[in-house]
Amino acid sequence: MNIDFLEIILYVADQRRSTDFYSQLFRRLPDLDVPGMTEFNISEKCALGLMPNKGIEKILTNKTPSPDSGNGIPRCELYLSVDDVELEFHNALKTGAKLISPIEDRNWGDKVCYFADYDGHIIAFAERIKTNKF
């Protein structure tokens, strides 16, 4: 399988509130913002979409529980590798993201902090721990 592009779509209770939140978090406006879908191109081959719970319910019909029943419950994690974890940590605090865990060195080799958005989706900012190799 060859995947040319990856889009992650988060189901959100309030598209406008989530759009404002992620615009502040990413410090940029969305690349698409229409009723029913907001998209941020977060890298050359990856986008983050925000779709209202009510919009996806039309597709899911009665095959799965409504996303509304999971609001506030962590349903996914966005693990974002960044250049400056301190900058992203302080920016996330300013946006009103809920702090889950401060920046810590993790045993897998990254410095990581964890936040939650308004819907409970987990957002991790990670920076590779620099090691001195002789």
Digit-coded pLDDT (tens) for 116-129: 999 999 999 999 99
Mean pLDDT of the chain: 91
Could you give the CA distance from residue 11 to residue 64 in angstroms, rounded to a whole number?
A: 14
Q: Are 80 and 124 in contact (CB under 8 A)?
A: yes
Check residue 65 and report its DSSP letter.
Answer: -
Check residue 131 and give its pLDDT. Answer: 72
CA dihedral 67, 70, 73, 79 (to 10 degrees): -20
Ordered structural domains, the chain, with CATH:
1-63 (3.10.180.10), 72-134 (3.30.720.110)
Mean of the pLDDT values across residues 12-38? 97
Mean of the pLDDT values across residues 52-59? 79
The answer for residues whose C-beta is within 8 angstroms of residue 93's C-beta and 6 or more apart is 99
Check residue 23 and report its DSSP letter.
Answer: H
More confident residue, 68 or 10: 10
Check residue 70 and give its pLDDT. Answer: 67
Please give the model's pTM, rounded to 2 decimal places.
0.88
